[in-house]
Structure 1
Amino acid sequence: MSVGLKEPRAGKAALQNPDSRKPVTRKASAQGRQPGSSIDVQRKKLLVPFVGPAFVLYTVLFIVPALGAVWISLHKWAGSGPMKFVGLDNYGRIFRDPLFLSSFGNTLLLLFVVGAAIFILAFAMTLVLRDMAGKKVVRNVIFFPHLINALVFGVLAGFIFNPGGMVNSLLAPLGVTDPPKWLAQDNIFPLIMVTLVCTTTGYFTTILMAGVDRIPPYYYEDCALAGATAFQRLRYVILPLTWDVFGTCAVLWTISSVKIFEIVWVFGGSSGAGVPPTQSWTAAVYTYVNAFSGQSTPAYGAATASAVLSLALISVLVVLLRRAMRRDAVEF
């Protein structure tokens, strides 16, 4: 039987259906309240005592240090002694540094390539586990890697891929007498990307599963009665009603990916050099090396400039993500 279904109630039509079970949007409910109502007055009275302390704490712990970092980035400073004002010279210096450009490029690869792999796998696992018996146990198992520090995964990955590690030990019985040099400088960063996908997918799968599980069952019942295909149910029910969850996950990954440091430092250093090879550096590693390692006179000004650029990248991407994924929040 062919069914000319275009949008079941859980899609865009659900926001216009007069049925009592329809979802409503916060925007619509807010428009129904008159300005200057008692609710608005009470909110304004509670704004200072409840939001004020949090705003003061946020200012002291984040805004002030961020402004201080911007100020330091405009100076030439070795961490002690006088500071020499150099304006934007530190920014010009790091933009002329090929090592910074490659490190920044690696950070963008983690953000977009690894992020895309993580979300595709996480969403696929969410759909597979949605109706699976014992999914709570599976959810706990796949979430467990998030509880382990990234340093541990860096050390374990180093042991697994070193010349006498587990991977080469498994290849030996297969007749591979000359196993690949996994920890060669050109191979470390791809392995780091694979490791991040394996250790992070479970975390975002758990969040997406929570978003899918909150969808009321009657949406699926309506789709079944309307003869909706699996793709139509995915397009008009699951994706629209979990869009805000995807947005939250995208922001979380954006913030996390720009700050990745530990696993790169430990995994890259497992090759025996101590400092990771430059091919595997991220923006965070570049900042650390300039400030604390790799040179006799630390360049705190240049290091802080690279940190400020990372902060600017996070801020811009988060704003763009929020704008690109903005839509009325659906309550059901």
Structure 2
Amino acid sequence: MSQLIEAEAVRPVRAASAAPGKKPLKSSRERVFWSFLAPALVLYTLLFVLPSFFGLWVSLTKWAGPGSEMSWRGFQNYLSLMGNEAFLRSFVNTLVLAVVSGALVFGVTFLSMMVLRQLKGRSFIRSVVFLPVIISPIAVGAAIGFLLNPDGVVNRLLGFLGFAPIGFLGPDTVFACIIAGVVWSASGLYIALMLSAMDAIPETLYESAVLCGASKWQQFRFITLPLSWDVFAVASVLWVVNSLKTFEIVIAFTTGGAVGVPPLQARTVAVQQYNSVVVSGGVPDLGAGAAMGVVVTLLTIVLIVLVRKITAREQVELA
């Protein structure tokens, strides 16, 4: 009995003596952790966080750029945007491009997933459809403009076949042509992402579905899409971020890559921002350009939150 009491008395002492030994180990791990993380945090702060706050400050001023005087305007830049027809039109164009092009891109992606799942040479096809992604948007826009201009290849071919030429670059059709170019150049990335997610799905699930008489659409709906939904959610966020920054393809398509002002029907917010700062024909207004950037940032945040809510589902796991 006395030995038992003595053992119970000694046990807390040993536990107490062992506990302090964990603190140096934990602190050493924290030092190693912060030694790796701190340089990245410093660079991120210097290159992204501080410039973002500086851009927010500039949006509240009137400034023509380095070397000129910066004067305070408050929210006047934002109020001016609300009455600026060019900005409002470009804002609507940006939303339309994000929604319509996004629907077409993921429609093409889902169709590709259904068609390519059992197709031989799927890896080669995936590489081919990914090729437009690595081509410069300037080159894509210039090529589309070359094909569709009034004296371009398409209209010459139509004339050779006896048809009247089509005004692809007219005010009623130019933006539709831009959307088509964006879909063609961007679809490869999302097809590659979704096909990679589909490759991780066990083939036995599809074999069981075939034995049960499931069609290809049913296989996609009840197997492929639920088990690749997490990748689709991430791809949707990537699309929102990328689509709201559409710039190069519009510039190259409508101006041939030269410095100029694209027609109002074809402008996105990024193009209008470029126009107000670089090719406005007068004194550059960096304050208005920064205000447009802040509006697009807020729009991006809202759309990302909305997309995340729409795509939020419980994760499907294989038993």
Please tell me the TM-score bracket, short chain as reference: 0.7 to 0.9
For the 8 Å contact 2:90–2:268, the answer to whether it is kept is yes
For the 8 Å contact 2:259–2:279, the answer to whether it is kept is no
For 2:222, the aligned partner's letter is Y
Q: 1:223 to 1:45 in 2, by over 3 A?
A: farther
Structure number with higher relative contact order (C-alpha < 8 Å, ≥ 6 residues apart): 1
Q: 1:187 to 1:302 in 2, by over 3 A?
A: same
Whether 2:110 is the aligned partner of 1:123: answer yes
Match of 1:86 in 2: 73
Equivalent of 1:169 in 149, 156, 180: 156
Match of 2:22 in 1: none
Whether 2:101 is the aligned partner of 1:109: answer no
Separation in structure 2 between the aligned mates of residue 282 and residue 151 of structure 1, nearest angstrom: 15
Match of 1:100 in 2: 87
3-state DSSP of counterpart to 2:180: helix
Equivalent of 2:53 in 37, 47, 67: 67
CA deviation after TM superposition for structure 1 residue 271, in Å = 11
Match of 1:312 in 2: 298
Across the aligned residues of Structure 1 and Structure 2, the Cα RMSD in angstroms comes to 2.4
Gaps of 5+ in 2: 1-25
Q: 1:181 to 1:309 in 2, by over 3 A?
A: same
**1:43-58 matched pairs, under 5 angstroms:** 47-58=33-44
Q: 1:157 to 1:72 in 2, by over 3 A?
A: same
Whether 2:206 is the aligned partner of 1:220: answer yes
3-state DSSP of counterpart to 1:298: coil
3-state DSSP of counterpart to 1:251: helix
Separation in structure 1 between the aligned mates of residue 306 and residue 37 of structure 2, nearest angstrom: 26
CA deviation after TM superposition for structure 1 residue 100, in Å = 0.5
Q: 1:199 to 1:52 in 2, by over 3 A?
A: same
For the 8 Å contact 1:162–1:271, the answer to whether it is kept is no
CA deviation after TM superposition for structure 1 residue 255, in Å = 0.7
Equivalent of 1:180 in 166, 169, 172: 166
Q: 1:229 to 1:171 in 2, by over 3 A?
A: closer
Gaps of 5+ in 1: 1-39
Number of residues of Structure 1 aligned to a counterpart in Structure 2: 293
Match of 1:137 in 2: 124
TM-score, reference length from structure 2: 0.85
Which stretch of the first structure deviates more once superposed, 213-222 or 121-130? Answer: 213-222
For the 8 Å contact 2:63–2:71, the answer to whether it is kept is yes
CA deviation after TM superposition for structure 1 residue 292, in Å = 1.1
CA deviation after TM superposition for structure 1 residue 44, in Å = 6.3
CA deviation after TM superposition for structure 1 residue 225, in Å = 4.6
Match of 2:147 in 1: 160
Percentage of matched positions with identical amino acids: 39
CA deviation after TM superposition for structure 1 residue 322, in Å = 2.1
3-state DSSP of counterpart to 2:172: helix
For the 8 Å contact 2:148–2:155, the answer to whether it is kept is yes
Q: 1:154 to 1:219 in 2, by over 3 A?
A: same
Separation in structure 1 between the aligned mates of residue 243 and residue 68 of structure 2, nearest angstrom: 34
Q: 1:41 to 1:109 in 2, by over 3 A?
A: farther
CA deviation after TM superposition for structure 1 residue 193, in Å = 0.8
For the 8 Å contact 2:250–2:266, the answer to whether it is kept is yes
Equivalent of 2:269 in 280, 283, 290: 283
TM-score, reference length from structure 1: 0.82
CA deviation after TM superposition for structure 1 residue 47, in Å = 4.6
CA deviation after TM superposition for structure 1 residue 57, in Å = 2.3
Which stretch of the first structure deviates more once superposed, 231-240 or 307-316? Answer: 231-240
For the 8 Å contact 1:111–1:258, the answer to whether it is kept is yes
